[in-house]
């Protein structure tokens, strides 16, 4: 039980108790400034200073020394971002002998309060977070990031991608184990190449390419167009109408195994649809079963309305 | 990524007091480190060491040198398609981290980190480089190179009937490719902490290599496609923070696309009676009478009146410029209100200036002996995006959120081609009289979309949030052919986020969206999406997670009756009782299903298939048969991983993962085989690391890859393979 309490408590405190090493390293005075907070009312007597934190939380200080926030801590002559910038004034916590209720602890705080703390500085880079699927689901910043103990220095992730994402998205991990998949597990790509976990204006937190197309075209540039003869659904419905982006047992990540089936799903005559039906001479027992043998440029063409070339 | 054992060894260095807490704080870390350790290419982060102070920088570095020994059997093309790890020495990993001991005296940078892997012949090579100097700049750069080999021989394969005489099966995919993509990305942000902060970036993507393609001109020729496409993206912008918690930004992007792919004839496998090499293409079948009823003369030479290719070339150099300007802002300066938005304009111009195509052979239907085509094309895309999102914290527990997206694009495009056809009826005769035809065309595709999503989130209790929302979408698609398709969608959104205890998280979401129209037959008019995610960490050493993700789509209108679902049930458990051992378990079942009324022609129809007379709308189009298009793709996934560190210096891990599918596709073609739709992909692995001393480690890694299909292979080569990949290496780190 004590271990559990200890564990949770340290998880809570681990987010922010830590700048003492910085102060020590730079020889700076105990930090009083809270540059990240817009609420300017600061009573210096409520702050204990980072050195005081280090007395009990040495391990967390070690972690903090390695992360990008240390740069901020070095600002203003060593009075930049330190423990109390995130955890709030700590003097009462110190004077109480470490009463966890007298300081802001991240592990037991509501997601919105945690997010407010982080977005106080990072709202400009993550402006959609509160409206994102993660924000709405109360997946707070500290669910994925840790200021003190992280696997990646750049983004302070607790675990590097994609493993971090897989811990919750247990339905996505299997897709990347299928024979045909984007090379996430191999380290060539990361989930955040296509998704912004902090939210975007796109569905599924997808990023968009610099050409304002689906993010797919960032790599698959030849499909971006614009073409004289567009295959219209690609532009209007998106790549995922035909492809399963994470992984598939089917080559080219197609949603169905046979090209002819995929094509016929749309190109069968029917009422109220303008997509042309399959011509009557396309005998499926003959060579016409492999539609893309002839319709090679299926993503669009400048020269042929039938996508032959 | 940090390997499980490196992480666990880290724990050993902490004092007992901290160890307990650290275990709790990062059970997720250990668990996830266990979770996906496997294939030979999974990259390890370096094992942190004490570091050395070099030239005023506290420096950590590690280098893994070694190599692969690979042995595989079965289908070489499939091994190359799915794995493609070959024998040879490698720089398996490289890592460098430098941090200024006294940043005030560091001149160029005060932090630098770099990591890379895979150099020396692996299919994936990646380098990341980051460095920064206090409040002066932040730099991020990456280089990624990957070789993409693809030869799944059923794709685009005409499946030549074995009854054909001669029987010339297509043994490789006519759309085989072997390309290399190189992507370089560099970004720098100046004065990142200042009120005004400019940033610049450059991204390049070059994709090139030999590929195969096909072309239908009478016969279906096999072409060598010299693939080369690239983009260069330059961007620059400036962020201005006029108020606390308000940022206004302007960005300019220039994207330049170059398409230099060219095509040449290949497969000149036969000869005319005068000895001229000729290609009859990939559809050589006496059953189909292709490329003609009698392609060969009695002496074995090619019938000169048959469809065939003597020569072919095509070049279509394309240049596209995508300049775009974007203004965006973010503000939370107003109490209880956060908002952000953007306005973007992009005016794209794409030019195909000098199209050049030459065909020499015989296209018997129009009696073309040769053709020359030249011309040009131009397309524009005018794109406007306006997005705005706002959150108003009405009370401490209730927030009102609204997101509005406007997206409009229009694409006018024209082309002009001049084709000179030379008449002829025999490939032995020179091209005859010339006829020149000039054609031009105008096309357009336009879409205007407005979507508004409004929802209320209520923190009903400190551990519970309920959200209710409404989505409205208005989309209109038009084109040069007179189509004018309005689509209105209405959706209800529900979300529930619960944390019954600090260790248990439950999220449940339902989206129900209905549309009054659809653009394609398989675009849903009705969508229900249910998502239930839960995670439970009752102990620092135990983590459980599960997901139910069900997507139901319907476009249930007359003559279509499209139904589809994607139902996923998955579970994960990570058990890490102590630093000596741990287990990771995963299981998932994914059911993908669709059915769509499809009509077609087949003579003969597939025996035993569900082919039935098609409805009048198909009969009128000459498509007498109908199938319900029943397609299912049930996939099982399982993985198990062990980490075992019996002594401090020895780190071991082993595991197994597999993905198996046993599905059905509508039997439309009589020679169709399920192929990968009934397949198993298995990857057992094991690895071992021994710390020789604080700086040197010896590592061994074994991966087994097995791919198999449980059905007849079809009229081509088998696709199953198995492979052993042994990786040996040493790591030097400080």
**pLDDT tens column, B547-597:** 999 999 999 998 899 999 999 999 999 999 988 999 999 999 999 999 999
**pLDDT tens column, B425-484:** 999 999 999 999 999 999 999 999 999 999 999 999 988 999 999 999 999 999 999 999
* pTM for the structure as a whole: 0.89
Using a CB-CB cut-off of 8 Å, the residues of chain B touching A242 are: none
Q: What pLDDT is recorded for position B4? A: 36
Q: Terminus-to-terminus CA distance in chain B, angstroms? A: 18
**pLDDT tens column, A134-173:** 999 989 899 999 888 888 777 889 888 999 999 999 999 9
Q: Where are any strands of DSSP class E within B6-87?
A: 52-54, 57-74
- Rounded Cα gap, residues B646 and B648, in angstroms: 7
Q: What pLDDT is recorded for position A147? A: 83
- Rounded Cα gap, residues A130 and A124, in angstroms: 13
Distance from CA of B298 to the nearest CA of A (A): 25
Contact B520 A219 (CB under 8 A): no
A168 CB within 8 Å of a chain B CB? yes
Q: What pLDDT is recorded for position A63? A: 66
**pLDDT tens column, B345-385:** 999 999 999 999 999 999 999 999 999 999 999 999 999 99
Q: What pLDDT is recorded for position B35? A: 41
Q: Which residues pair with B704 in a beta bridge?
A: B724
**B303: buried, middle or exposed (CB in 10 Å: 19+, 13-18, 0-12)?**
buried
Contact B52, B734 (CB under 8 A): yes
Q: Look at residue B9 and tell me whether its pLDDT is greater than 90.
A: no
Nearest CA among B194, B203, B260 for reference residue B227: B260
Instruction: Give the side-chain half-sphere CA count within 13 A for B297.
Output: 11
Nearest CA among B505, B541, B503, B536 for reference residue B24: B541
Which residues lie below 8 Å from residue A201, measured CB to CB, with a gap of 6+? A128, B342, B387, B389, B403, B405
- Average pLDDT value for residue range B235-247: 94
**B439: buried, middle or exposed (CB in 10 Å: 19+, 13-18, 0-12)?**
exposed
Q: What does the angle CA B480 – CA B481 – CA B482 come to, to the nearest 5 degrees?
A: 90
DSSP state of B303: P
Q: What pLDDT is recorded for position A74? A: 58
Q: What pLDDT is recorded for position B23? A: 37
Distance from CA of B512 to the nearest CA of A (A): 15
* Closest CA in chain B for residue A167: B32
Q: What pLDDT is recorded for position A153? A: 77
* Placement of tokens 């394309």 in the chain: B318
Q: What pLDDT is recorded for position A1? A: 34
DSSP-derived secondary structure for A264-292: HHHSS--TT--SPPPPTT-BTTTGGGSHH
- Average pLDDT value for residue range A107-121: 86
How many A-B residue pairs are in contact by the CB < 8 A criterion?
Answer: 509
Q: What pLDDT is recorded for position A30? A: 31
Both tokens assigned to A302: 């400048």
Give residues 219 to 278 of A whose Cβ lies within 8 Å of B: 219, 221-222, 224-230, 232-233, 235-237, 241, 249-252, 255-261, 264-266, 268-275, 277-278
Higher-pLDDT residue of B614, B71: B71
Contact A221 B229 (CB under 8 A): yes
Contact A187 B389 (CB under 8 A): no
Higher-pLDDT residue of A92, A213: A92
Cis peptide preceding B463, ω within 30 of 0: no
Contact A283 B602 (CB under 8 A): yes
- Rounded Cα gap, residues A286 and B672, in angstroms: 11
Q: At what angle do helices B16-25 and A2-14 cross, to 10 degrees?
A: 70
Using a CB-CB cut-off of 8 Å, the residues of chain B touching A284 are: 600-602, 668-669
Q: What pLDDT is recorded for position B610? A: 58
**Range with lowest mean pLDDT among A22-26, A132-136, A190-194, B491-495:** A22-26
Using a CB-CB cut-off of 8 Å, the residues of chain A touching B285 are: 286-287
Q: Are strands A300-301 and B696-709 parallel, antiparallel or unpaired?
A: unpaired
Q: What pLDDT is recorded for position A278? A: 87
Going from the C-alpha of B573 to that of each of B542, B568, B638, the distances in angstroms are 7, 17, 12
Both tokens assigned to A16: 């922010």
**pLDDT tens column, B211-236:** 999 999 999 999 999 999 999 999 99
ipTM score of complex:
0.91
pLDDT category at A49 given cuts 50, 70, 90 is confident
Share of residues in chain A with pLDDT > 70 (%): 81
To probe the interface with A, which of B11, B17, B25 has the most A CB atoms within 10 Å? B25
Q: Which residues pair with B337 in a beta bridge?
A: B392
Both tokens assigned to B268: 């000149």
Which residues lie below 8 Å from residue B247, measured CB to CB, with a gap of 6+? A123, A124, B239, B240, B241, B329, B330, B331
Q: Look at residue B47 and tell me whether its pLDDT is greater than 60.
A: no
pLDDT category at A298 given cuts 50, 70, 90 is very high
- Rounded Cα gap, residues B189 and B204, in angstroms: 18
* Average pLDDT score, chain B: 91
Contact B242, B219 (CB under 8 A): no
* Placement of tokens 């139901």 in the chain: B552
- Closest partner residue to B124 (CB to CB) among A110, A131, A188 is A188
Distance from CA of A48 to the nearest CA of B (A): 22
Q: What pLDDT is recorded for position A80? A: 63
* Closest CA in chain B for residue A264: B598
Task: Please name the helix (run of DSSP H) or strand (run of DSSP E) that holds residue B382, with its range, or none.
Answer: strand B368-395
Contact B107, A44 (CB under 8 A): no
Cis peptide preceding B269, ω within 30 of 0: no
Which residues lie below 8 Å from residue B616, measured CB to CB, with a gap of 6+? none
**pLDDT tens column, B691-728:** 999 999 999 999 999 999 988 899 999 999 999 999 99
* Average pLDDT score, chain A: 81
Nearest CA among B587, B586, B678 for reference residue B633: B678
- Rounded Cα gap, residues B233 and A218, in angstroms: 10
Cis peptide preceding B166, ω within 30 of 0: yes
């Amino acid at each position: 039980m004590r271990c559990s309490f200890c564990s949770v408590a340290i998880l809570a405190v681990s987010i922010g108790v830590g700048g003492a090493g910085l102060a020590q390293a730079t020889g700076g005075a105990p930090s009083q400034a809270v540059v990240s907070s817009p609420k300017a009312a600061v009573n210096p007597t409520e702050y204990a200073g980072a050195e005081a934190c280090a007395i009990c939380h040495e391990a967390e200080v070690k972690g903090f020394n390695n992360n990008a926030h240390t740069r901020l801590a070095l600002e203003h002559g060593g009075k930049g971002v330190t423990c109390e910038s995130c955890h709030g004034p700590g003097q009462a916590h110190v004077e109480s002998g470490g009463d966890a209720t007298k300081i802001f602890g991240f592990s037991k705080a509501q997601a919105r309060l945690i997010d407010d703390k982080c977005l106080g500085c990072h709202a400009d880079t993550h402006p959609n977070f509160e409206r994102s699927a993660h924000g709405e689901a109360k997946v707070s910043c500290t669910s994925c990031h840790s200021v003190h103990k992280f696997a990646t220095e750049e983004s302070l992730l607790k675990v590097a991608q994609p493993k971090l994402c897989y811990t919750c998205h247990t339905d996505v991990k299997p897709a990347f184990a299928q024979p045909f998949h984007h090379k996430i597990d191999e380290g060539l790509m990361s989930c955040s190449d296509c998704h912004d976990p902090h939210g975007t204006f796109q569905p599924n937190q997808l990023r968009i390419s610099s050409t304002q197309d689906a993010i797919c075209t960032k790599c698959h540039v030849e499909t971006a167009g614009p073409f004289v003869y567009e295959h219209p659904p690609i532009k209007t419905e998106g790549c995922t109408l035909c492809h399963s982006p994470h992984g598939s047992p089917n080559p080219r990540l197609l949603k169905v195994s046979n090209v002819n089936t995929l094509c016929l799903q749309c190109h069968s005559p029917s009422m109220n649809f303008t997509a042309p039906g399959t011509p009557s001479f396309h005998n499926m027992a003959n060579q016409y079963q492999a539609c893309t043998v002839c319709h090679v440029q299926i993503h669009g063409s400048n020269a042929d309305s039938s996508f032959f070339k | 990524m940090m390997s499980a054992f490196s992480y666990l060894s880290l724990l050993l260095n902490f004092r007992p007091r901290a160890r307990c807490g650290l275990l709790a704080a990062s059970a997720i870390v250990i668990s996830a480190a266990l979770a996906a350790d496997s294939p030979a290419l999974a990259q390890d982060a370096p094992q942190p060491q004490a570091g050395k102070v070099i030239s005023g920088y506290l420096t950590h570095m590690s280098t893994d040198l070694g190599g692969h020994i690979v042995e595989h059997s079965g289908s070489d093309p499939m091994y190359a398609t799915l794995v493609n790890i070959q024998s040879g020495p490698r720089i398996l990993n490289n890592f460098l981290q430098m941090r200024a001991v006294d940043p005030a005296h560091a001149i160029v940078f005060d932090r630098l980190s770099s990591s890379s892997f895979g150099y020396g012949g692996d299919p994936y090579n990646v380098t990341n480089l980051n460095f920064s100097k206090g409040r002066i700049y932040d730099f991020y750069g990456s280089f990624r190179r990957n070789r993409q080999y693809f030869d799944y021989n059923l794709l685009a394969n005409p499946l030549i009937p074995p009854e054909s005489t001669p029987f010339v099966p297509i043994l490789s995919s006519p759309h085989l490719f072997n390309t290399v993509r190189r992507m370089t990305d560099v970004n720098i942000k100046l004065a990142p902490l200042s009120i005004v902060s400019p940033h610049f970036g450059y991204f390049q993507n070059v994709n090139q290599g030999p590929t195969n393609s096909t072309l239908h001109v009478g016969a279906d020729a096999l072409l060598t496609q010299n693939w080369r496409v690239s983009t260069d993206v330059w961007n620059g912008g400036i962020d201005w923070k006029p108020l606390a918690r308000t940022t206004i930004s302007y960005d300019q992007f220039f994207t330049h696309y170059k398409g230099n792919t060219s095509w040449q004839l290949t497969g000149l496998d036969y000869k005319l009676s005068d000895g001229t090499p000729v290609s009859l293409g990939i559809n050589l079948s006496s059953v189909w009478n292709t490329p003609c009823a009698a392609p060969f003369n009695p002496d074995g030479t090619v019938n000169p009146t048959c469809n065939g290719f003597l020569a072919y070339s095509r070049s279509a150099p394309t240049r596209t410029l995508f300049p775009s300007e974007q203004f965006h802002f973010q503000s939370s300066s107003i109490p209880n209100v956060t908002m952000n938005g953007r306005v973007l304009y992009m005016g794209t111009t794409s030019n195909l200036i000098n199209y050049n195509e030459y065909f020499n052979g015989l296209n018997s239907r129009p009696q073309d002996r040769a053709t020359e085509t030249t011309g040009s094309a131009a397309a524009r895309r005018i794109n406007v995006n306006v997005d705005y999102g706002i959150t108003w914290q009405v009370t401490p527990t209730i927030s009102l959120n609204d997101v509005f997206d406007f997206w409009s694009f229009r694409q006018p495009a024209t082309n002009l081609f001049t084709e000179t056809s030379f008449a002829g009826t025999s490939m032995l005769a020179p091209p005859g009289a010339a006829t020149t035809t000039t054609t031009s065309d105008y096309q357009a595709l336009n879409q205007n979309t407005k979507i508004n999503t409004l929802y209320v989130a209520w923190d009903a209790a400190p551990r519970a949030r309920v959200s209710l929302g409404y989505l409205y979408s208005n989309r209109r698609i038009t084109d040069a052919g007179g189509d004018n398709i309005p689509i209105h969608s209405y959706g209800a959104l529900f979300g529930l986020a619960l944390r019954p205890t600090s260790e248990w998280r439950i999220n449940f979401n339902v989206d129900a969206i209905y549309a009054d129209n659809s653009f394609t037959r398989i675009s849903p008019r009705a969508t229900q999406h249910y998502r239930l995610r839960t995670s439970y960490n009752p102990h620092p050493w135990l983590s459980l997670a599960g997901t139910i993700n069900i997507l139901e789509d319907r476009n249930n209108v007359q003559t279509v009756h499209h139904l589809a679902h994607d139902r996923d049930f998955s579970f994960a458990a990570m058990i890490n009782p102590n630093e000596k051992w741990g287990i990771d378990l995963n299981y998932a079942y994914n059911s993908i299903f669709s059915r769509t009324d499809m009509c077609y022609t087949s003579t003969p129809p597939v025996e035993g298939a569900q082919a039935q007379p098609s409805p009048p709308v198909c009969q009128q189009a000459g498509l007498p048969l109908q199938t319900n298009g029943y397609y299912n793709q049930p996939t099982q996934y399982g993985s198990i991983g062990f980490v075992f560190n019996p002594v401090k210096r020895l780190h071991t891990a082993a595991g197994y993962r597999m993905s198996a599918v046993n599905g059905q596709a509508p039997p439309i073609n009589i020679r169709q085989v399920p192929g990968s739709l009934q397949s198993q992909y298995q990857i057992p692995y094991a690895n071992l690391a021994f710390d020789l001393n604080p700086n040197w480690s010896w590592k061994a890694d074994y991966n087994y890859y097995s791919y198999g299909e449980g059905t007849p292979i079809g009229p081509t080569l088998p696709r199953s393979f198995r492979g052993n990949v042994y990786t040996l290496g040493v790591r030097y780190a400080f």
